[in-house]
Amino acid sequence: MTKKYFGTDGIRGTVGEYPITPDFFLKLGWAAGRVFAREGQGFVLVGKDTRISGYMFESALEAGLAAAGVNTRLLGPMPTPGIAYLTRTLRAQAGIVISASHNPYYDNGIKFFSTEGTKLPDELEHKIEYYLDQPMTTVESAKLGKAKRISDAAGRYIEFCKASIPASIDFSGLRIVVDCANGATYHIAPHVFREVGAEVIEIAAEPDGLNINEKCGATKPDLLKNAVIDYRADLGIALDGDGDRLIMVDHKGEVVDGDELIFIIAKARKAAGKLQGPIVGTLMSNLGMEHALKKLKVDLLRANVGDRYVMELMKQHGSILGGEGSGHIICLDRTTTGDGVVAALQVLAEVHRTGKSLYELKSEMSKYPQVLVNVKVAKKVDPNSNETIQKA
C-alpha cells in the first residue's frame, strides 16, 4: 500500500509549505499518540537538530501528543543516532526526530524510531497516516499527557559512543579536526573524541539556528579539508546536521568517503575475526570497494539507494556492516542505525591498531572512476512508480 505522507526516511520538506507546518505537526503528534498510547503509562522521546524551526515543531508535537494522552520526554538538540539509542535504553514507546538531516536550515522534517531504536515499520506508519485523516479529538483533562526535559541525555549518549571501542584504546598524540556542521553533534562529538585522548580542534560547532550545514559538514567538506592542512592535523572528521553521516579527510587534505570508510572498518573486523555476513552497499557503491572486499574474500551486496534499504538487506543476510558512499555507515554490532560518531571511532581504532595513517588505510582500496549526477525534479515521487523508468 502506497503511503500518503511518509517517504523512505520520514516526512521532509520546506518549512511553511505543507506538510512542514505547525498545524500538520500538531495533528501528526496526535496521530502518533493514538498509535503509541498506553493507558496511563510510558512516554515518547522527542529530539531535534539545531535548525530554528525545531522549537516550533517541538512545541506542536508536544501539544498533539498531550492531546492524545501521551507523556513526552524532550531531549533538545540531539543527534539522530543518539535519539535511537536513548529510545531503546530508556524503554520509550517511540522516538521522534525533528530534522532535515543534511538539508539547509529552511527545510525540516520528522522521522520515528520504534521502541527498539530502529526505523518504524511500514505497518505503524500506515496506522499513523490513518489517524492523520481522522478528526482530531482530545482526551479528558485528567488523562492529558505531560512533558518533561531529560537533562542527562547528552552524557548518556557520549558514554555510549565511547563504549563502542575498547577502553584500553587511547588516542593521545592524535590531532583531529571535527566539523559538527553547526548541527546536533556540536555538544557531543568534540567531547567524545577528547575523552578518548585525542587533541580536538572543533569547527562549525556554533549553531545559531540558521547556519546548520552551511558550507560545512559531511556534504561540504572543503572547510574541513582546509582546516586539516592549516592545523597540520592527522585527520579530519565531518558529520552532517543530524549526525548520521560521516566523511573523513586524511592528513593530505583528501576526502575519504563512505565507501572507503566502510572498507577500512570491514578489513578491521575481518582481521579481528568479527566480521559476520556480507557487506551491504547500494547500487551506487564504488566498484573499487567491491573488488577490494573480494580480495579479503568478503562479499558485497547492493541494496537500493537509501539507508532504510541497506538496513533491510543487512538484516536479511545477517550482516553487521553496511552503508553508502554519502557517509551513512551502519555498524549493527555497535548501533541500531547509522551513526557518524560511532563509525568515526571504529576508523580511529584501526588507525591506532595498525599504526598507519588514514591516508595509508584508504590507499588499500583503489576507487574506480564514477560520476553521480543529482537531477532536480518539480515534484518528488517514487521512481519505481514511473512507467518510463520501469521500462528502462
- Name the residues annotated as catalytic: 101
Q: What are the φ and ψ backbone dihedral angles of 133, each rounded to 5 degrees?
A: -95, 10
Cell output for 252: 593530505
Q: Which helix (H) or strand (E) holds 360?
A: helix 358-362
80-89 helix and 153-162 helix, angle to the nearest 10 degrees: 100
Spatial contact of 324 and 281, defined as CB atoms under 8 Å apart: yes
Spatial contact of 206 and 186, defined as CB atoms under 8 Å apart: yes
Q: Say how far apart CA 247 and CA 283 lie, in whole Å.
A: 19
Rounded alpha-carbon distances, angstroms, from residue 28 to 32, 77, 136, 268: 6, 20, 10, 43
Q: Say how far apart CA 110 and CA 335 lie, in whole Å.
A: 20
DSSP-assigned letter for residue 326: T
The residues, ordered by sequence, that sit 6+ positions from 155 with a Cβ below 8 Å of its Cβ are: none
Spatial contact of 301 and 259, defined as CB atoms under 8 Å apart: no
Q: Is the dihedral of CA 70, 151, 207, 252 positive or negative?
A: negative
Determine how β-strand 235-239 pairs with β-strand 175-179: parallel
Omega cis (within 30) before 190 = no
Q: Say how far apart CA 109 and CA 10 lie, in whole Å.
A: 7
Cell output for 87: 529510545
DSSP-assigned letter for residue 204: S
